[in-house]
A and B are shown apart, each in its own frame.
Chain A
């Protein structure tokens, strides 16, 4: 049987939703807009489930040597060569480019990695669509909002399904566009419009890296298809460093842009200007993880370049710590979560950097659950307080918003890394993988551990400030959100609780890693041991609890401990409140010189002086010569006649001059003829 999984339907359904709501949404009644907007992601989710079932459980209909799932899950003997993956199902829709030896297809790939990503994207995406129905109810741009959201799903699923780097780049740019549109959704607000621009431009810097990486891939491998690159590298195992390092670093630059890592993370905190469900879906759960996904997809390149791999790990660990310290002192509830997202993405990069790709993807998945939950719960809080985002004006919401409180509590415990919640398993898998990776890994492990303590601290700080104690704003009249918003919260809370259990192991990636192993080409780590795993996980839990206790001490009771602490270290506090002055630093070193070059060199000198001068000169010549020639048209009959005569004389002279000598002979001849 040679069936098709119809992968093309998965992105195209949200795209249809985008077209309907984008073109007709303003004229459709609201319930129709809602129906279209919800059916698109739900149907896409259904098709993902269907494709996953057909391929992995029922046996791939389009692939002859497919084996049942259970065989693959037993034991850790992973298949090293990703090309030999029996579950890599490719669907090609046609040739995109065919120039000489360059051949690029428009193709989608469904394998273990893209299936996991698709389930997260469409599943969490659908929940957030439901939530948005309640959250955006009163907004004038209701249809536009859902059109953009569906457009995002279209591009994101394209990115995930892409079989080669070029198709992935289409999705990559597309999600950037959707992100821009949704950050600047309330475009009449200057800060929102600016934030959208900032996100787009900063991402563009990273995209340059991705593009150059693709050019280098084409130049050195002659293909952009992921499996072919893996094959070519597999044929030459000794090929390390050199151009592969350059390609990997270029791709890393692209990933740091999209996934908000150092040094390109600056757009993500500002992206919180968008509606909160957008922050949850795009700027926490899915789009920002595209960089991690891309590194996992192209992991063979990183595997062949230890330098690039170490760079990924260092960038990730540095970002994790850096963002976590900023999150300590933020007062805007969404900004805390934004910096927390950057920090957690840093964990995923750290996981990729120590070649524990499955651990990174594992954390990507659990993070999608609990961070979406945290954002949506924060959105519920903001919604209940009528738009208030400052945590200093919250407090005492525990009684007023019980469902939001309990679901958010589960999210906080999950991100803090306390078992049995999901964050514990995935974070522990990454830390364990880092610890077992030599001396650099030990250093990164310590950084990760410190970050874990900071994470627990700032999340419980948020929790205490928001829900504990008494309300600090007497004008607030908090109310619980409608069930269209609370429903997704409950589901995500359950996923945050149980999402980590699918690994089936107390520590490490377990079954989850074994499932992904054919794609990611990992083997079970031999340098660790069961005892070590348990010890490390206990340490991680202790560190998280420590963070909790510090938060409890500083913010738990009615105390001024936090003010005292800030007063004791005014320099450090100021540095953190101002986010290390990175925006100011970029402003002074990059934006200002660029603006000066644009204004003075390009604007004044090139545009006004050279180009404007040239245009002015040409116009001046025409005017001046016209003014001169105008005098010719005197209207005076005799002057016309004189010019006519002069012209005739000139023409005559022109023709006659060469014949002058002949004419002289002719004259003599005539004279002789007279005789």
Chain B
């Protein structure tokens, strides 16, 4: 009897969205050459994972998942600070942000 809108969004939709976000992050990480974009892709993967954490926390009525999300956000913030600093340092040294060119560790 309930209308389409009043219905609760099924769990699988959240999970599908989460997987979609994560996959986008992975694909972006793999195909983009700009270091900033690669960095943003990482954030996308993290948030995709966050979404599934929250989903499961809601589903099982467990607070652990939400606490994990806070942890992840905190680590992401720290990572953003350090990562951006590294990116700036790399740009200053190499005058480029193309990841293909940053391959000094190659034998």
Residues of A at under 8 Å CB distance from B? 630, 633-638, 641-642, 645, 667, 670-671, 673-674
Contact = CB atoms under 8 A, between A and B. Distances in A.
Contact of A635 (B29, B30, B104): B104
9 contacts: A633-B107, A635-B105, A637-B102, A638-B100, A670-B11, A670-B12, A671-B12, A673-B11, A674-B8
By size class, the interface of chain B is: 10 to 19
B12 A637 contact: no
Contacts of B31: 638
A633 B103 CA distance: 10
Nearest to B35: A637
Given A641-B29, A642-B30, 7 more contacts: A633-B105, A637-B99, A637-B100, A637-B102, A641-B30, A671-B12, A674-B8
Contacts of A638: 29-31, 33, 99-100
Interface string B17-28: 000000000100
Nearest to A635: B106
A637 B107 contact: no
Minimum-distance CB pairs A-B, first 3? A635-B106, A635-B103, A674-B10
B106 A633 contact: yes
B100 A636 contact: yes
Interface centre among A638, A642, A645 (most CB of B within 10 A): A638
Contacts of B102: 637
A636 B30 contact: no
B22 to A, nearest CB: 11
A638 B33 CA distance: 8
Interface in B51-107: 99-100, 102-107
A607 B100 CA distance: 50
A634 B99 CA distance: 12
A636 B12 contact: no
Contacts of A634: 103, 106
A630 B10 CA distance: 48
Nearest to B27: A645
Contacts of B104: 635
Given A633-B106, A634-B106, A636-B103, A674 B11 contact: yes
Contacts of B100: 636-638
Most buried by B among A637, A641, A645, A667: A637
A667 B12 contact: yes
B105 to A, nearest CB: 5
A537 to B, nearest CB: 96
Nearest to A630: B107
Contacts of A630: 107
A642 B26 CA distance: 9
A641 B100 CA distance: 12
A120 B67 CA distance: 101
A624 to B, nearest CB: 16
A641 B39 CA distance: 12
A636 B98 CA distance: 11
A642 B99 CA distance: 13
Q: Which of B29, B38, B104 has the most CB of A within 10 A?
A: B29
A673 B8 CA distance: 11
B106 A636 contact: yes
A357 to B, nearest CB: 81
Contacts of B105: 633, 635
A293 B31 CA distance: 94
B30 A671 contact: no
B10 A645 contact: no
Contacts of B106: 633-636
A670 B104 CA distance: 49
Contacts of B7: 674
Contacts of A641: 29-30
A501 B99 CA distance: 110
A388 B30 CA distance: 94
B103 A645 contact: no
A572 to B, nearest CB: 81
Contacts of A636: 99-100, 103, 106
Contacts of A633: 105-107
Nearest to B100: A636
Nearest to A632: B107
A407 B26 CA distance: 109
B34 to A, nearest CB: 12
B38 to A, nearest CB: 8
B10 A671 contact: yes
Given A635-B103, A636-B103, A638-B100, A645 B26 contact: yes
A388 B107 CA distance: 74
A674 B4 CA distance: 12
B30 A645 contact: yes
A636 to B, nearest CB: 5
Contacts of A674: 7-8, 10-11
B30 A670 contact: no
Contacts of B11: 670, 673-674
Nearest to A649: B26
Nearest to B103: A635
A268 B49 CA distance: 93
A641 B31 CA distance: 10
Nearest to A634: B106
A178 B94 CA distance: 77
Contacts of B12: 667, 670-671
Contacts of A645: 26, 29-30
A638 B100 CA distance: 8
A29 to B, nearest CB: 67
Contacts of A635: 103-107
A653 to B, nearest CB: 15
A670 B10 contact: yes
Nearest to B105: A635
Nearest to B12: A670
Nearest to B26: A645
A635 B104 CA distance: 6
B93 to A, nearest CB: 16
A645 B23 CA distance: 10
A673 B7 CA distance: 12
Nearest to B9: A674
B94 to A, nearest CB: 13
Nearest to B32: A638
Nearest to A637: B99
A636 B7 CA distance: 48
A647 to B, nearest CB: 12
Contacts of A667: 12
